[in-house]
């Protein structure tokens, strides 16, 4: 499996200028405008990632689910504030800041409940409050998971061979000849299939997955 950076680099390199996306197709833009399906797709892509980060932080499954729900409520309420105006900006970095804040809020809230009932473990909960660097947040790995999940969710929108031609070429890094041999397709059909899925991926998900169109 190729790295996320290699796969998205291929996306950039293989898109021609005439295929640059229009912002009206962006999943993020549609979610901001109130489209439920677009917001649902964002949650489908990043929800499992956020939940896993909460679990890795040591939260019980039930607490991790509550915390994940609270995080995405905050994301939905502040979605208009996310911007990619400079090279360091990314949706994942912005999401991490919300996760970090909500983790701290959750632990403090639970510590307050313990203290209010006369418990003597509130200070232990307070000690669990992480600094930002304590979160097990590995950007390259998380981007790869988001990328792969997004493509898996999108694959049902395409014919099987179209999606497989894209996946083998871009994600697994196989040559056009190898894909032709594997799928019994002609080279032109493989290139067209690859371009079709690439274009759709960048149009809908580029601003969420940190994929550039130019």
Q: What is the mean pLDDT of residues 184-196?
A: 94
Summarize pLDDT for 30-67 with one digit per residue, the tens.
899 999 999 999 999 999 989 988 888 888 899 899 99
Asked whether the beta carbons of 78 and 98 are under 8 A apart, the reply is yes
Alpha-carbon dihedral sign for residues 173, 46, 65, 155: negative
pLDDT at 132: 44
The C-alpha atoms of residue 46 and residue 147 are separated, in whole angstroms, by 10
Whole-model pTM? 0.71
Q: What is the mean pLDDT of residues 17-36?
A: 70
Asked whether the beta carbons of 110 and 74 are under 8 A apart, the reply is no
The C-alpha atoms of residue 84 and residue 23 are separated, in whole angstroms, by 13
Asked whether the beta carbons of 205 and 211 are under 8 A apart, the reply is yes
20-29, 56-65, 169-178, 182-191, range with greatest mean pLDDT: 182-191
- Look at residue 100 and tell me whether its pLDDT is greater than 60: yes
pLDDT at 157: 86
Summarize pLDDT for 134-156 with one digit per residue, the tens.
456 677 778 778 877 887 888 88
14-28, 35-49, 93-107, range with greatest mean pLDDT: 35-49
């Amino acid at each position: 499996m190729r790295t996320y950076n290699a796969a998205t680099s291929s996306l950039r390199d293989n898109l021609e200028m005439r295929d640059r996306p229009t912002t009206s197709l962006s999943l993020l833009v549609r979610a901001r405008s109130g489209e439920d399906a677009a917001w649902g797709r964002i949650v489908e892509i990043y929800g499992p990632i956020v939940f896993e980060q909460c679990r890795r932080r040591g939260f019980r499954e039930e607490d991790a689910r509550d915390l994940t729900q609270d995080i995405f409520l905050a994301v939905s309420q502040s979605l208009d504030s996310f911007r990619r105006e400079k090279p360091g900006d990314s949706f994942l970095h912005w999401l991490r800041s919300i996760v970090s804040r909500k983790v701290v809020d959750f632990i403090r809230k639970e510590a307050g409940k313990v203290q209010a009932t006369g418990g003597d473990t509130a200070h232990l909960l307070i000690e669990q409050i992480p600094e930002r660097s304590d979160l097990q947040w590995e950007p390259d790995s998380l981007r790869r998971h988001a990328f792969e999940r997004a493509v898996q969710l999108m694959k049902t929108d395409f014919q099987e061979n179209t999606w497989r031609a894209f996946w083998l070429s871009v994600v697994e890094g196989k040559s056009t000849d190898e894909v032709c041999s594997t799928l019994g397709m002609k080279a032109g059909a493989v290139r067209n299939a690859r371009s079709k899925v690439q274009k759709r991926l960048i149009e809908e998900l580029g601003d969420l997955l940190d994929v550039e169109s130019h």
